Amino acid sequence: MKSRTKRRLFTLISFAFIVYFIYIIFSQQPRIDMLMTKKLRVEEKIKEQDAIHEQLIYYQSIAGTDRYIEMMARIRLGYVKADDLIFIDADR
């Protein structure tokens, strides 16, 4: 009789633990999904920052050279060389 009671108690406790763990897994799934989405966004930001970092390293490597000065004059000041073709936007 004690063996039967112990067995039922063990079965009941085992079943309770299984149900508890299943509940924990399903209750945490939305949080896991949210964290995975957040991780993807952070990875995208890291890729963007890596691209910016590479660009800054390039600018640092050519800083002070004639090529850099010419590039900045073209980008920021709108300077062109004598043999460059200039296209004017008619919509402006």
Q: How far apart are CA 64 and CA 15, in angstroms?
A: 73
Please tell me which residue, 77 or 41, carries the higher pLDDT value.
41
pTM higher than 0.75: no
Residue 88 lies in a domain: no
pLDDT at 46: 98
Domain containing 61: what range?
2-77
The reply to whether 83 falls in a domain is no
Determine the Cα–Cα distance for residues 39 and 37; give it in Å rounded to an integer.
5
Each residue of 50-62: b (16+ CB within 10 Å) or e?
Answer: eeeeeeeeeeeee
Is residue 11 domain-resident? yes
Q: Is residue 82 included in any domain, yes or no?
A: no
- Name the domain count of the chain: 1
Show the 3-state SS of 48-84. Answer: HHHHHHHHHHHHHHHCCCHHHHHHHHHHHHCCCCCCC
Q: What is the pLDDT of residue 64?
A: 86
Q: Is residue 84 part of a domain?
A: no
Give the pLDDT score at 23: 92
